[in-house]
Structure 1
Amino acid sequence: MAVAFSLFLSLLCFLQLATRTHAAALTTAIGANERVCFYADADKAGEKIGFYYAVQSGGSFDIDFEVKDPNEKVILDGKRERQGDYVFTANNPGEYSFCFENDMSTLTEKLVDFDIMVESEPRRDPPAKPGQIADHTSALEESIFRLNGMLINIKRTQK
């Protein structure tokens, strides 16, 4: 039992070191009738992209937003939203755009907090050990990846 727990902790540490995350937590002011865009790069297909925003002040605390992939295809959009929290998989490598638009307001600027996260979780096979069953390792590995994703979501929610 102690060996299995030790293996679990070693694997968890390995996965934490192997996980690469780029994140940008920002606050921006968006003037009346203004459109502001921010960009994030996905190095390869299959990376997870997280996008969170919340309007902190201005008017009815709402904003229009749009997320496009490198081929200019709209992935997400919303009108007069107060906040949102999305996670999607990058199907194409390249630059993704995250735009806010304050068209509905003619006088009031909006203050928006947002976070863009690009995460890569390489799924490397751990070295095989004598007597170790590969199916059990991959199930354990999948559980750890799911737990890691849930912890990241909790952290983002608390932020």
Structure 2
Amino acid sequence: MQRSIVLLSVLALLCGVQAFSTTIDATREECFIEEGRTGQPMGLMFTVTQGGFLDIDVQIKAPDGRVVYSAERQHDGKYNFIAHTDGPYNFCFGNRMSTLTPKQVSVVVVADEADRPPQPANDKAAAPEDLSPLAETIKNFADTVKEILEEQEYMKMRERAHRNTNDSTNARVVWWSFFEVAVLVTMSLGQIYYLRKFFETKRPM
């Protein structure tokens, strides 16, 4: 059992899955950097879990300034790409459309270390044809674990967003119920007051 846990932990590290939550203040843009190498599979998953209309601007910039991906006012999304050059890739989230409300965003950045390009061959490096079936099996297992981890993180983000929406809706329903009760009580007291005034007899002086 312990060996299985250790193996899964190592594979998760090889998959390079990073998950975190961040708050983007109004009129601001925040960028996060992930190192990439030419030919390396990379990806981004995100969900706006709280704030305003639950929308955010997203942009991925390559080290050479090229815009790999760009979208505006997105609630959530998932985008995979292959790094075309070495260097830091910027994953940016913009909340410039909002003047008052900050946005909370759950983010998953994937930089697949398991599929990185092979290093230049040397005397000690094993040729691809020398790889054992066990190594191929481990690689396939790592790919499967990567897909599972990505899907789990994405489902967690979706569940968090839905939970926040439900909590917000429930809070509004509760406050609306209190408002209705207050209106009914006020109307009842007003009717009682006017009825008493209507049937009240004035005493002669």
TM > 0.5 fold call: yes
2:93 matched to 1:114? no
Q: What is the CA–CA distance in structure 2 between the aligned matches of 1:153 and 1:97, rounded to whole Å? A: 23
Measured after TM superposition, the shift of residue 62 of structure 1 is: 0.7
2:24 matched to 1:30? yes
Measured after TM superposition, the shift of residue 114 of structure 1 is: 0.2
Corresponding residue number in structure 1 for 2:65: 72
Q: Is the 8 Å Cα contact of residues 57 and 73 (structure 2) preserved in structure 1?
A: yes
Structure 2 spans left out of the alignment, 5+ residues: 1-6, 119-126, 154-205
TM-score (norm 2): 0.56
Corresponding residue number in structure 1 for 2:15: 21
2:128 is matched by which residue type in structure 1?
Answer: D
Identity score, percent: 30
Higher relative contact order (CA 8 A, sep 6+): 1
Measured after TM superposition, the shift of residue 149 of structure 1 is: 3.7
Q: How many matched pairs?
A: 133
Aligned-CA RMSD value: 2.7
Deviation sequence 1:59-87 (CA, Å, 0-9, x none): 11110010010001000011000111111
Q: Which has the larger radius of gyration?
A: 2
Corresponding residue number in structure 2 for 1:127: 130
1:93 is matched by which residue type in structure 2?
Answer: D
Other structure's SS at 2:130 match: coil
Q: Is the 8 Å Cα contact of residues 56 and 72 (structure 2) preserved in structure 1?
A: yes
2:85 is matched by which residue type in structure 1?
Answer: N
Deviation sequence 1:88-133 (CA, Å, 0-9, x none): 110101010000000111111000010112113256615278xxxx
Corresponding residue number in structure 2 for 1:90: 83
Measured after TM superposition, the shift of residue 22 of structure 1 is: 2.8
Alignment of 1:3-18 (within 5 A): none
2:43 matched to 1:40? no
Corresponding residue number in structure 1 for 2:172: none
Measured after TM superposition, the shift of residue 158 of structure 1 is: 1.8
Deviation sequence 1:121-151 (CA, Å, 0-9, x none): 256615278xxxxxxx7xxx5x986775454
Other structure's SS at 2:151 match: helix
Segments of 4+ moved more than 3 angstroms: 143-151
Structure 1 spans left out of the alignment, 5+ residues: 1-12, 130-136
